[in-house]
Structure 1
Amino acid sequence: MRKLFVLLFFCNVAFAVRHSLKYLLIGTSGLPDFPEFMATATVDEVQVGYCDSNKKAEPKQEWAKELVKNDSGHLDWYSERCLLHQQAFRLSMDNLKQGSDTEAPHVLQRLTGCEWDDETGETKGFDQFGYDGEDFMALDLKTFLWIALKSEAVNTKVNWNAIKGQIQDNKNYYINNCPDLLKRYVHHWRSFLQRTEKPSVSLLQRTPSSPISCFATHFYPDRAEMFWRKDGEEIHEGVEKGEILPNNDETFQMSVELNISSIKLEDWKRYDCVFQLSGIKDDLIIKLNKALIRTNRVSPSEFPVGPVVGAVVGIVVLVFVAGVFFWIKYSNGGEEKLFYSIIKFQMNTHINALIFL
């Protein structure tokens, strides 16, 4: 099943033609357990960046970290806009709450971004607001004018559409700037996926009588092979091979164990572990040598499950931040209640600091 998933993943990377850059900004009020403001960015539905009222903008994928490492101004640009949006959302929330229960929970969302078909070259933008679980305003991508979806949004629509140069700014962003940024991200992501990273290879052993594990970690891609040899020939007896597992830094790990209970110490020099990685011509070879064995007799929990646990924790974190509790109002017997609903977490970088009036 894992191999099938990996195959499908790489096929998707190779043949997908429609890409997306999405941003979601969320302002909250009356929710003490949530930040006042949070925003996230996704490329092809994968979270690549995040900021909130307590955190500066930060990349969430290794390729995105590499991108901002080589272009620090790019991250500064996001941080500035995160702060600007936070201020705009705070003012908008204050205006929207006028005449309502200001102590009740309220949520304001803005979902915006663009799509690009890398086969046809077609691009498409989108920009819409929601308030307390209902559509509020949206940008017409044909006229680049705002449309009120609620009567409460009419005044704001009129004021925003009257801003000098706003239509041209919107047009330029969704036709040029957003697609250009998306293309840059997709190109960088693909380059990152085509990289090759050599692993560190170690010999590990729990106790003197335990099998010896040849452990390789932090390699990329996952097209790798690992086995034990005796006198230069691959062996299978007394060998147990593990699966290739993901680390939490977009690299991989694997191990292969050798049962040494029937191997005499003087014969150890006849054995070695071989690691082969697609894209690398030379094999990585480590001899079965007592001096090279790393052991852990303090706590079994510290043995090489560390990277595995890290990978699981990373997945749990990504699953958590991939959703956000969104409050939805509905009437039940005349009584208004608030309930949670899970939605996808996506962010916005089109920064014009528009405020609801």
Structure 2
Amino acid sequence: MLCVVYATYAVTHFLKGYLIVSAGLGAFPDFVAVVLVDEDAVAYFDSNIKHLQLRQQWAENIEETFKEKYYELMNYFMQGLKSFWKGYLEPQNQGIRTLQIMFGCPLDGEVKTGQYRVQYGFNGEDFLTLDTRTFTWIAANQAVDHFVKQERNATENVARTWKVFLENDCTEALNVFIRYGRESLERKVPPEVFLLQRDPSSPVTCLATGFFPKGIRVSWEKDGEDLHEDVELLETLSNEDGTFQTRSRLTVSPADLKEHNYTCIVDHSSLEQNIIKPASEEEIKTNLDPGNSSLSAIIGVVVAIFLLAIISIAGVMLWRRRRVRGL
């Protein structure tokens, strides 16, 4: 629907946590916690290893007292969620089942923004959302709403616990991670930009890759005017080295491409000036030229990422089919 993505260039960081309680998955841990800062996975804990693993090299220097505190917090989450699981969810369901929780807290510089997030999902569907302005629960359906009202005291206590955690422990952890990982978290890596086209009748793809942070703006112009029609912006994806890539496709006829001046414009916080690529024969790389080594390398990267995505999607679909049969 949109042909551009606008980045927030202010130094705002966000801590996100993912908690999963599961049953019926064999050797898979029945509790898993993953913590991310911005787009980097920084901490991991599960019920099998039972200790906090820090996943970034810069995190190795964090004080032991911090590690011990958050190890205890992960244990607290694990015990509390297992209790909730056994008290409400487990008796009502059989087979493979999962409870997923996502929480988050941002910092704008060192200032709390209050834009916290807590969401619960059950078996891949929405379950509960915490309104973090009033710290009251929003149920996904009538059955869940009935549970919230029936267990009013318990759910209000859980909401208060989340409030204390988000306003204190979550933002404290984010501050610590920023202090130790600032050089990595706030690094600026400029994008490389390529124009690709399979053949003259195919869309022209503007590929921006290898950039960090994630926020980027990719747009098209026609004869110097912003172009919004016949433009498709694709999802921003992660590269294996921790950078990102995104693509924008322009559908244009060969005649229009010759008659008008089309340009792809890339804006990123790492750039002093926008990257401007004219959609000319000299700039557009096609697979009609087998000797084009740079295009071959680009296509190889894109194909590898595409194959990885297909494998991942196939794995998830297989897992979900097994889960459905189990239910």
* TM-score for the superposition, normalised by structure 2: 0.49
- Structure number with higher strand proportion: 1
Name the structure, 1 or 2, with higher relative contact order (CA <8 Å, separation 6+).
1
